[in-house]
Structure 1
Amino acid sequence: MAEVVSFRKDPDKAGGGALVLRQLNDGVLRLTLNNPPANALSIAVLETLMGELQAAGEDSSVRVVIIASTGNVFSAGHDLKELTAHRTDADDGVAFFEESFALAADLMLEITRLPKPVIAEIDGLATAAGCQLVASCDLAICTDTATFCTPGVNIGLFCSTPMVAISRAAHRKQAMEMLLTGETIDASTAKDFGLVNRIVPKQYLTQVVTKYASVIASKSPEAIRIGKEAFYRQLEMPVEEAYTFAAEVMVDSMLTDDAEEGIGAFLGKRIPVWPEE
């Protein structure tokens, strides 16, 4: 049976509904942005997602995280109305702007540092920080009608923080194309650029994403934890240093209980039973 729990309610929403819906089923935690139509990344939403991810990192029953959304927009990025409202602050909004962008950066880093894979499930538009969220996830699967953009230049604001994640997910010149033009790209182009892994028909999106998550959840949690951390660390290293580091990781991995069990199961032609964390 799936466990459904809602956290962090927004008093401005009808009925005080949850900003992020939480569903845990067979090791797969689904976090659904629930603030349509824009699913904007307000301070409250960012804090909620951060709390959920931090809790997931400590919860041994969670093997994989999916970030999805309700409505026709995956996420329109930062809440521009919320940001604009603080222009009347005594400091012209500087403190609030710093808090908002720093919190978003912390969230993206939390995704990267989480010892469990995070999959973005995109149905609709992912724009600005919403596109940054997609780029920050380990995997991204979208519908054939999903679209992506970094439109900051259209409103006099270069998408500098989304640039960090997007330039590390997409090819350099294609990332610059998105950032400089602010134009919307379709799912096929996003896949060519490297922003998404797979494109599936809308009616099969959740089914396909859940299947991917379930396959990953069946693997060694220790191997996944070690491997994900090593993947992002070696990306920032020169190639020779990366090989040295990766070899050290392999040696350490060989000494884990999961590796002993996994190799033993392979040689014994049986299904591995991963040790409890």
Structure 2
Amino acid sequence: MSTASMAADSKAAPVFVRETREGPVYRITLANAAARNALSRAAMDEISAALTRAAEDADARVVVIGHEGPAFSAGHDLKEMQAARRSADGGRAFYDALFAQCSDMMMQVVRCPKPVIAEVDGVASAAGCQLVASCDLAYASETSRFATPGVNIGLFCSTPMVALTRNVARKHAMEMLLTGEMIGADEAQAIGLLNRAVPQADLSATVRRLAETIASKSPLTLKTGKEAFYVQAEMGLADAYAYTARVMAENMMARDANEGIGAFVEKRPPTWTGS
């Protein structure tokens, strides 16, 4: 293949994700800005692979999902979805696979043994908003905007609704879902979709400080706590207390719990082993 052909192929192939790690912070950057970081099947493949690598990186303690360009993610690739209609079944098999894949990717965020933080400086809509809601924590610039606008194009945001209704009150969620209107970062913070909206110039530093603070904790404790948080949230009150009591008792048997309590009593910094 000629150099010119190789260059042309390189230009034709979009880069969906970039990955870096700075100390204990693993950063996944959605990098297909030209397509507003649409969640095509290929893009979700790359995001899932990046999440797997982040989960398996022994030196990573926290995962940050950020983005290039003016959109965190505009949601699914509508052109890809429309093209699937040309298949013999009208696209049904493709749509089943697409939404199952998206749901699996969102569950992968939830099940990642490390805290996952969304860093948003732009628009997050539809499945892009779903990804923000699926992250454990979310921070955004004050100029960012959020929406679940599927209702505007005849496709209700049913899967984004799952993450949305687990973050914000039902009436706020229904308003977003039924109107499809954009909300600003301040409102997103007020209803619980965001932890905090900050000035654009402060966003990266805010997320970095938070990530480093979390990364300073015992990795075993973070894994234990994140898993228990989501499990107990789906339980009734009595079952949740019974489950978390068992989790705490098991946690107490860990070396890091012994080390952390001992360090506190002895007024010294703890040394975590992750066990």
Which bin holds the TM-score, normalised by the shorter protein? over 0.9
Q: Find the counterpart in structure 1 of residue 162 from structure 2.
A: 164
For residue 16 of structure 2, give the secondary structure of its aligned residue in structure 1: strand
The equivalent position to 2:20 in structure 1, one of 13, 18, 23, is: 23
The Cα of 1:12 is off from its aligned counterpart by: 7.2
Matched, 1:208 2:232: no
The equivalent position to 1:99 in structure 2, one of 97, 100, 109, is: 97
Q: Find the counterpart in structure 2 of residue 122 from structure 1.
A: 120
1:166-224 residue CA offsets vs partner (Å, 9 max, x unmatched): 01011111001100110110011101111000111111111111111111011010000
Matched, 1:183 2:181: yes
TM (normalized to structure 2)?
0.94
| Range 13-22 or range 221-230, more displaced | 13-22
The Cα of 1:99 is off from its aligned counterpart by: 1.2
Q: Which runs of 4+ in 1 moved over 6 A?
A: none
For residue 141 of structure 1, give the secondary structure of its aligned residue in structure 2: strand
Q: Find the counterpart in structure 2 of residue 235 from structure 1.
A: 233
C-alpha separation between the residues in 1 aligned to 2:191 and 2:78? 27
> Which aligned pairs between 1:26-105 and structure 2 lie closer than 5 A?
26-37=23-34, 38-105=36-103
For residue 121 of structure 1, give the secondary structure of its aligned residue in structure 2: strand
C-alpha separation between the residues in 1 aligned to 2:238 and 2:166? 20
1:206-247 residue CA offsets vs partner (Å, 9 max, x unmatched): 111111111101101000000000000000111111111111
Identity of aligned residues (%): 52
**Does the C-alpha gap of structure 1 residues 15 and 88 become closer, same or farther in structure 2, counting only changes over 3 Å?**
closer
1:79-125 residue CA offsets vs partner (Å, 9 max, x unmatched): 00111111101111111111111111001001111110000000111
TM (normalized to structure 1)?
0.94
C-alpha separation between the residues in 1 aligned to 2:38 and 2:105? 14
> Which aligned pairs between 1:105-116 and structure 2 lie closer than 5 A?
105-116=103-114
C-alpha separation between the residues in 1 aligned to 2:184 and 2:11? 33
For residue 272 of structure 2, give the secondary structure of its aligned residue in structure 1: coil
The Cα of 1:14 is off from its aligned counterpart by: 2.6
C-alpha separation between the residues in 2 aligned to 1:140 and 1:82? 28
Q: Find the counterpart in structure 2 of residue 256 from structure 1.
A: 254
C-alpha separation between the residues in 1 aligned to 2:91 and 2:13? 27
**Does the C-alpha gap of structure 1 residues 144 and 13 become closer, same or farther in structure 2, counting only changes over 3 Å?**
farther
The alignment's C-alpha RMSD in Å is 1.3
C-alpha separation between the residues in 2 aligned to 1:17 and 1:218? 35
- How many positions carry a matched residue from both structures? 267
**Does the C-alpha gap of structure 1 residues 152 and 276 become closer, same or farther in structure 2, counting only changes over 3 Å?**
closer
For residue 267 of structure 2, give the secondary structure of its aligned residue in structure 1: coil
Q: Flag structure 1 segments of 5+ consecutive residues without an equivalent.
A: 1-10
1:116-169 residue CA offsets vs partner (Å, 9 max, x unmatched): 000000011100000000000000000000000000110011000000000101
Q: Find the counterpart in structure 2 of residue 193 from structure 1.
A: 191
C-alpha separation between the residues in 1 aligned to 2:196 and 2:9? 36
1:26 partner letter? G
The Cα of 1:55 is off from its aligned counterpart by: 2.0
